[in-house]
Amino acid sequence: MAGEITVEIQGGEHLKQIVANLKSVGENELAKELKQGIRKAAKPMAPAVRKSIGQIPSKQGGVSRTGGSLRADMQKATKLQIRTTRSQAGITIRVDGRAMPGRMGALPAYMEGRKRPWRHPVYGNKNVWVVQPAHGYFYNIVPELAAEVKAEIDAVATSIARRLQQ
């Protein structure tokens, strides 16, 4: 979708295999521990993206037509999804344009610079238009976080795999 900025961290085949193996041998407690480890590792991602969004500069106070801050709308649209099924294991972080108010669904992509800069009237005044520059808020921090999250998940998965081998 054009209005969404997404990064997926896939756990790879070994993570899917661990989830499947744990469930097939009835190790529900270890499967639960793995899921908790993944959630714990990924938990800081959404707040970090929200913080980055909050640091986007605003010359005019960032007031949207809905009366709230565009940055606040984008922060609310920031979602973290964790999947730990036999067929899928991974983390998705997104600023979902579908969660933006009104016709602002493409705003996350515009602000990140994934779409061309856009023109808009200043506070709805159609006689005064400005070009809104992009302010990267997502791809400048998520890859860094992704490496840390992946390392934490690998550590949890390795610990569980070792216990299974004993």
128-142: pLDDT as tens digits: 998 888 889 999 899
- Residue 113, classed as helix, strand or coil, is coil
pLDDT above 90 for 89 = no
Query: Radius of gyration of the chain from Cα atoms?
Result: 20
Question: Percentage of the chain with pLDDT > 90?
Answer: 24
Which pLDDT score is estimated for 66?
Answer: 44
Question: With contact defined as beta carbons under 8 Å apart, do 52 and 74 qualify?
Answer: no
- Residue 110, classed as helix, strand or coil, is helix
Calpha distance 137→7 (Å, rounded): 13
Which pLDDT score is estimated for 47?
Answer: 96
Calpha distance 42→81 (Å, rounded): 9
